[in-house]
A and B are shown apart, each in its own frame.
Chain A
Amino acid sequence: EAQVTQNPRYLITVTGKKLTVTCSQNMNHEYMSWYRQDPGLGLRQIYYSMNVEVTDKGDVPEGYKVSRKEKRNFPLILESPSPNQTSLYFCASSLTGTDSYEQYFGPGTRLTVT
């Protein structure tokens, strides 16, 4: 089954404790992206990657890191989480090129930072 998976689905942590949220897709997509969803703000892009070893900042990159060492994986790293990073996070992937217009979303990771 074609899908985007994220782990963990729920995470409660404390300020300053490094964490990683994993994202993996099995559709051989070149493009992957991370979004955060906050009430009243919709989804905002954090980082995206057009292919292996190619990443770039989205609209709200501060406090986050990403890496793309393999095509299927795109982990989101919070080196020193803060309470304002409490949010619902989504990973997405898509093809690039002329048929690139649909993104497939993972189920989301709800992060709480206390």
Chain B
Amino acid sequence: AQSVTQLGSHVSVSEGALVLLRCNYSSSVPPYLFWYVQYPNQGLQLLLKYTTGATLVKGINGFEAEFKKSETSFHLTKPSAHMSDAAEYFCAVSVDSGYSTLTFGKGTMLLVSP
């Protein structure tokens, strides 16, 4: 069975600062990894995903994440935070079982101050 750990339930940054949201996973088979974002009172939206190939993945809104197998990590970064990035972010893992059952982390709320 797979699991996901997101370090920090809340992360605060200033506008223009680096955003780093941490995600570690465990999986007995090669994982497929995702970051989803949830804006207030909305559903989840896919930010980016890693399936195979290049380990540095670029997503929407300037976010990117790097799959590091040796560290079992998939941290999410953005060079410069914007006020509109304030949201809750979820890391998720799936295995190549032919269908995409996702196991989610508990989420990290990103707070951006002026």
Contact = CB atoms under 8 A, between A and B. Distances in A.
A26 interface: no
B98 interface: yes
A97 B106 contact: no
Contacts of A48: 99, 101
A101 B9 CA distance: 26
Interface residues of B, number: 23
Interface in B75-114: 90, 94, 98-107
Contacts of B49: 101-102
Given A58-B101, A100-B100, A101-B51, 11 more contacts: A31-B99, A35-B104, A42-B90, A43-B44, A44-B104, A45-B103, A94-B100, A101-B49, A102-B100, A103-B46, A107-B42
Interface of B: 9, 32, 34, 36, 42-46, 49, 51, 90, 94, 98-107
